[in-house]
């Protein structure tokens, strides 16, 4: 308004007595009029801008304001205010503002200043949100629609209080379940193995010959006792039942392979996991001991030789897949020596071919708990 008054008070250079024909006077009059028109136009434009700005401010004040009270983004104030930016800021501007503020409030430059540390953390959080397209999109949406922040809480914003499935909890439950199921599976294998041994002993198979011989002695002794006491012999049915019961008792007391032994505490999954490093260390130490013994020229016993040969074959399954004749040949020819084992392997017709289907089936059945002598029947 002051500018308008100044221009309105400019004296007219028009000569009212007839000097208007002079070019210089006419030019001055036109210039003065143009200045007055520009001043009025400028003043009106500024007035309109101020009125529009006041209207925007009044509208913004009347509208509900977005406040991130649950700190899903940056809390209060918002991320843009934290970095001193407008909502239309580019990523380059965001990065520049973040670098400037992070250097200013860095803990190394402000040791012991808790306010600077809080500001540094909030600036880092604001940069994290605004440089993430998805997070920034959510922030802009709730800034423009603050009422939706409450009504849609839990749909677009991450839950804070809703129950979440913990991966650690799921893994722990699975481990507990496996630890409970594993002894049951071991007991099932134990039962199948003992039944197979009893069946082999009843059929007088070579694998059950030891048990059958001891059981026959016990049955004969029991038969003598009954004959002396009751003067009666055992019937064939009673003898068969007693024989089977005796075999079951002998097999249960015998030393079974670890894979088919009665489940114990050491078979528990948690115990196995806890003792796995120790078992690996013992296995490595045992392997080194046998290698040193072979290198020194010492003769290995049957168990040690079998252990070394199983390593050459690729495991106990490959050893079990061999016939008894082949196993005896490997042990008798000292195939725990690598050169002897290579010679034996070169003479095998199936040395370069994979295991036969029947052998694979036998190995799978053996893993399930059935001994080799039962599968041959």
In a 3-state reduction of DSSP, which class is residue 191?
Answer: helix
pLDDT of residue 362: 52
Tell me the angle at which helices 167-202 and 209-230 cross, rounded to the nearest 10 degrees. Answer: 60
Top mean-pLDDT range of 36-45, 223-232, 312-321: 312-321
Q: What is the dihedral of CA 290, 294, 299, 301, to 10 degrees?
A: 30
Higher pLDDT, 316 or 371: 316
**Residue 93 — very low, low, confident or very high, per pLDDT cuts 50/70/90?**
very high
191-250: pLDDT as tens digits: 888 888 888 888 888 878 888 888 888 888 888 887 776 656 777 788 888 888 888 888
Size (the chain), residues: 377
Mean pLDDT within 113-131 = 89
Q: In the chain, helix, strand, coil percent, each to 5?
A: 70, 0, 30
pLDDT of residue 229: 63
Contact 263, 174 (CB under 8 A): no
Among 57-61, 191-195, 367-371, where is mean pLDDT lowest? 367-371
pLDDT of residue 65: 67
pLDDT of residue 56: 59
Among 117-131, 132-146, 359-373, where is mean pLDDT lowest? 359-373
Determine the Cα–Cα distance for residues 372 and 377; give it in Å rounded to an integer.
9
Nearest to 248 by CA among 187, 190, 195, 206: 195
CATH superfamily ID and name for 79-151: DnaJ domain (1.10.287.110)
Is 18 a residue whose pLDDT tops 70? Answer: no
pLDDT of residue 64: 60
Number of other CB atoms surrounding residue 114 within 10 Å? 9
Is 125 a residue whose pLDDT tops 60? Answer: yes
The helix (run of H) or strand (run of E) holding residue 253 is helix 236-253
pLDDT of residue 162: 47
Top mean-pLDDT range of 17-31, 42-56, 74-88, 346-360: 74-88
Higher pLDDT, 252 or 17: 252
pLDDT of residue 328: 86
**Residue 94 — very low, low, confident or very high, per pLDDT cuts 50/70/90?**
very high
Is 284 a residue whose pLDDT tops 70? Answer: yes
Q: What is the mean pLDDT of the chain?
A: 75
**Residue 292 — very low, low, confident or very high, per pLDDT cuts 50/70/90?**
confident
Mean pLDDT within 112-121 = 89
pLDDT of residue 70: 64
pLDDT of residue 191: 87
249-276: pLDDT as tens digits: 888 888 887 778 888 777 777 777 788 8
pLDDT of residue 231: 58
Q: How far is C-alpha 262 from the chain's CA centre?
A: 34
pLDDT of residue 54: 66
Is 358 a residue whose pLDDT tops 50? Answer: no
172-196: pLDDT as tens digits: 888 888 888 888 888 888 888 888 8
Percent of the chain with pLDDT over 70: 71
Instruction: Kindly list the domain boundaries of the chain, sorted by start residue.
Output: 2-62, 79-151, 173-260, 299-375
Mean pLDDT within 5-11 = 44
Is 160 a residue whose pLDDT tops 60? Answer: no
């Amino acid at each position: 308004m002051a500018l308008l008054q100044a221009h309105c008070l400019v004296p007219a250079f028009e000569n009212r007595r007839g000097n208007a024909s002079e070019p210089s006077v006419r030019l001055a009059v036109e210039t003065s009029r143009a200045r007055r028109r520009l001043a009025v136009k400028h003043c009106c434009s500024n007035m309109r801008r101020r009125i529009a700005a006041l209207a925007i401010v009044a509208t913004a004040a009347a509208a509900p304001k977005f406040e991130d009270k649950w700190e899903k983004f940056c809390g209060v104030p918002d991320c843009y205010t934290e970095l001193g930016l407008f909502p239309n800021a580019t990523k380059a501007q965001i990065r520049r503002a973040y670098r400037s503020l992070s250097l200013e409030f860095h803990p190394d430059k402000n040791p012991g200043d808790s306010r600077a540390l809080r500001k540094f953390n909030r600036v880092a959080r604001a940069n994290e949100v605004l440089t993430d397209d998805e997070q920034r999109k959510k922030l802009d949406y709730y800034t423009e629609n603050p009422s939706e922040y409450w009504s849609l809480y839990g749909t677009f914003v991450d839950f804070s209080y809703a129950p979440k499935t913990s991966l650690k909890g799921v893994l722990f439950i699975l481990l507990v379940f496996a630890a409970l199921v594993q002894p049951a599976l071991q007991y099932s294998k134990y039962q199948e193995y003992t039944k197979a041994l009893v069946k082999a002993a009843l059929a007088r198979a070579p694998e059950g010959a030891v048990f059958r011989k001891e059981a026959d002695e016990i049955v004969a002794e029991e038969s003598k006792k009954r004959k002396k006491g009751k003067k009666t012999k055992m019937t064939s049915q009673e003898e068969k039942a007693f024989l089977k019961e005796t075999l079951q008792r002998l097999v249960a007391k015998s030393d079974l392979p670890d894979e088919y032994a009665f489940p114990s505490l050491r078979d528990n999954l948690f115990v196995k996991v806890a003792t796995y490093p120790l078992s690996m260390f013992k296995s490595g130490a045992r392997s080194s001991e046998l290698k040193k013994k072979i290198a020194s020229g010492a003769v290995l016993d049957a168990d040690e030789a079998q252990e070394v040969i199983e390593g050459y074959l690729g495991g106990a399954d490959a050893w079990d897949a061999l016939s008894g004749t082949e196993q005896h040949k490997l042990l008798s020819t000292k195939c725990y020596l690598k050169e002897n084992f290579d010679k034996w392997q070169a003479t095998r017709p199936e040395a370069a071919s994979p295991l036969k289907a029947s052998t694979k089936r036998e190995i799978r059945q053996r893993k399930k708990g059935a001994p080799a002598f039962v599968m041959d029947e």
